[in-house]
Copies of this chain bind each other. A is one copy, B any other.
Amino acid sequence: MAEALTLHEDPRSGNCYKIKLTAALLGLPLATRAYDIMQGETRTPEFLATVNANGRIPVLQIDASEGARFLPESNAACWYLAHRSALVPQERFAQADMLRWMFFEQYNHEPNVATLRFWRHFVGEANLSEQQRGQITAKHLAGCAALDLMNRHLAQSAFFCGDTLSLADIALFAYTHVADEGGFALGDHPHILAWIARVQAAPGFVPMQ
């Protein structure tokens, strides 16, 4: 297994941070190559032809004897890294339930919590299009619903899949712990705040840049 791992990333992206956190918790060396998505650096012909035809980061590059392979989608890259590790439950239902929270993250959480953070914290409200501005209320409400569901789940469980940290926690931690940058107040979600502290206390934890 003499393989080298490189993350094509934008350091501001929570989706990229998920992969760096997974690698850190597992003690895996991970090189990085940074792109500025605000400057269109992931839409160049070279990037589209070699790294990801979908024009997005993160992409995990895996260099091994058989050549370089590229894996887009943050949660799929985490899955690859965590293969046969304690971050993935092996019991059939628990494993499916972990993926359930990771799909929830990409469908119910990221398009709302992460998008509003990007718009408000990096783009700036004054620079949004009319069409983007028209979606702020709906995305705020949908993000609040996702956070509320998480808070209620965490009232009964230390982590998303029981008593131990899994990829579901990493996936949901990335944008939740900076949700205030998207205009979400975590103060009324005490179980999320306690869970954030538990994730941060995990051996090997690294903060987002």
Q: Indicate which residue in B77, B106, B135 contacts A96 across the interface (CB closer than 8 Å).
A: B77
Contact present for B69 and A93 (CB under 8 Å): yes
Interface locus among A97-105, A176-184, A185-193: A97-105
Distance of A62 Cα from B69 Cα, bound (Å)? 37
Question: Within 8 Å of chain B (Cβ to Cβ): is A41?
Answer: no
Distance of A100 Cα from B79 Cα, bound (Å)? 9
Question: Within 8 Å of chain B (Cβ to Cβ): is A31?
Answer: no
Contact present for A111 and B108 (CB under 8 Å): no
Q: Indicate which residue in B79, B103, B110 contacts A76 across the interface (CB closer than 8 Å).
A: B103
Q: Indicate which residue in B71, B79, B92, B131 contacts A83 across the interface (CB closer than 8 Å).
A: B92
Q: With A107-B110, A152-B53 in contact, is A76–B93 under 8 Å at CB?
A: no
Distance of A149 Cα from B48 Cα, bound (Å)? 11
Distance of A28 Cα from B73 Cα, bound (Å)? 30
Question: Which of chain A's residues 67-89 have a Cβ closer than 8 Å to chain B?
Answer: 69, 71-77, 79-80, 83
Contact present for B97 and A71 (CB under 8 Å): yes
Question: Within 8 Å of chain B (Cβ to Cβ): is A134?
Answer: yes
Copies of chain A in the complex: 2
Question: Which of chain A's residues 41-62 have a Cβ closer than 8 Å to chain B?
Answer: 53-54, 62
Contact present for A103 and B62 (CB under 8 Å): no
Contact present for B83 and A100 (CB under 8 Å): no
Q: With A83-B92, A135-B131 in contact, is A97–B111 under 8 Å at CB?
A: no
Residues 112-148 of chain A, each 1 if its beta carbon lies under 8 Å from chain B, else 0:
0000000000000000000100110010000000000
10 contacts between A and B (CB under 8 A): A54-B108, A54-B149, A71-B96, A72-B100, A76-B96, A76-B97, A83-B96, A102-B103, A107-B107, A135-B135
- In the complex, given contacts A76-B99, A79-B96, what are 14 additional A-B residue pairs having Cβ atoms less than 8 angstroms apart? A53-B152, A53-B153, A54-B108, A62-B93, A71-B100, A72-B100, A75-B103, A80-B92, A83-B92, A83-B96, A106-B106, A131-B134, A131-B135, A135-B135
